[in-house]
């Protein structure tokens, strides 16, 4: 599986290259060159899987075994979800008249981003320990991303994370989740301006390719493909839980309504 820039102005990279990048060198985002197709037999098999096992199957489509062997992939995803409060990781609550709620808030910080960032943190640790490398993570946050990113890498010796939060724009709980973490590798700064404004200096740093390479900069914001990859499982799991049967042609329709602030769950 190769990853290419959405702007088409740079060469292809593998999953590891996409994981450790912020923006592509041409300013675009890395995405898979090809989107895998799934046949009905695969969908039938996946429909009976737990959320945890479904994530493993999805990730195996985008992370070649030559980079992360399947047993290692399974282990790191199990570790990623080991701190979740619900035994199923994600739970579907059935309400009335066909309305269902997919509960994505059972992670450490109660944000849906815990699901993807916990896995991304484990992918980082796998590659960094293997190659004895160190990276500096830059994160701009409107509230949820910062605390979730911190929890995904806190205490990791090969990572330093720098979080910019917009002063006065986060809730008190969100701010406390970030500023009360006492770890040598966690660095949190409040900045004047809203979340869009504090993203600008971060983009400028990534745009300076030489600087980004020298200091091994990377991002855990939603520009990172690993986050999007894991979030795909939300929709498959919701569909499998809600669809009455996969034996019909065409397959049944399921309407998904996403309450979203910055669009992080649907980008």
- Interval 63-103: pLDDT, tens: 999 999 999 999 999 999 999 999 999 999 999 988 999 99
pLDDT at 14 over 90: yes
- Interval 222-251: pLDDT, tens: 888 999 999 999 999 999 999 988 888 899
Written as one string, the DSSP assignment of the chain is --EEETT--S--B-HHHHHT-SS-TTS--EEESSPPP--HHHHHHHTTS-HHHHHHHHHHHHS-TTTS-HHHHHHHHHHHTTT-SSTTSSEEEE-STT-EEEE---STTSSTHHHHHHHHHHHHHHHHHHHT--EEEEEE-SSHHHHHHHHHHTT-TTEEEEEEEETTTS-HHHHHHHHT---TTEEEEEESS-HHHHHHHHHHHHH-HHHHHHTTEEE-STTSHHHHHHHHHHHHHHHHHH-S-SSSSSPPP-------SSSTTT-
- What pLDDT shows up at residue 219? 87
Positions annotated as catalytic residues are 113
- Interval 191-202: pLDDT, tens: 998 888 988 998
Q: Model-level pTM?
A: 0.91
Structural domains of the chain sorted by starting position, each given as residue range(s) with its CATH number in brackets: 3-242 (3.40.50.1100)
């Amino acid at each position: 599986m190769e990853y290419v820039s959405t702007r088409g102005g740079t060469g292809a990279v593998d999953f590891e290259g996409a994981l450790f990048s912020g923006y592509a060198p041409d300013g675009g985002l890395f995405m898979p060159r090809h989107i895998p197709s799934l046949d009905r037999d695969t969908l039938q098999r996946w429909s009976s899987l737990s959320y945890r096992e479904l994530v493993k199957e999805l990730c195996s489509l985008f992370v070649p075994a030559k980079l992360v062997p399947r047993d290692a992939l399974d282990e790191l995803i199990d570790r990623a979800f080991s701190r979740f409060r619900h035994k199923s990781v994600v739970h579907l609550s059935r309400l009335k008249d066909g309305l269902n709620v997919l509960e994505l808030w059972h992670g450490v910080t109660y944000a849906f981003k815990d699901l993807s960032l916990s896995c991304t943190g484990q992918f980082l640790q796998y590659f960094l320990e293997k190659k004895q490398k160190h990276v500096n993570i830059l994160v701009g946050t409107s509230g949820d991303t910062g605390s979730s990113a911190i929890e995904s890498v806190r205490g990791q010796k090969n990572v330093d994370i720098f979080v910019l939060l917009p002063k006065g724009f986060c809730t008190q709980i969100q701010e406390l989740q970030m500023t009360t973490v006492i770890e040598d590798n966690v660095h949190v700064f409040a900045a004047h301006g809203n979340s869009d404004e504090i993203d600008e200096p971060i983009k400028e740093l990534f745009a300076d390719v030489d600087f980004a390479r020298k200091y091994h900069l990377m991002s855990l914001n939603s520009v990172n493909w690993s986050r999007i990859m894991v979030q795909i499982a939300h929709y498959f799991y919701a569909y499998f839980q809600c669809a009455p049967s996969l034996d019909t042609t065409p397959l049944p329709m399921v309407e998904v309504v996403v309450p979203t602030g910055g669009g992080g769950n649907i980008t």
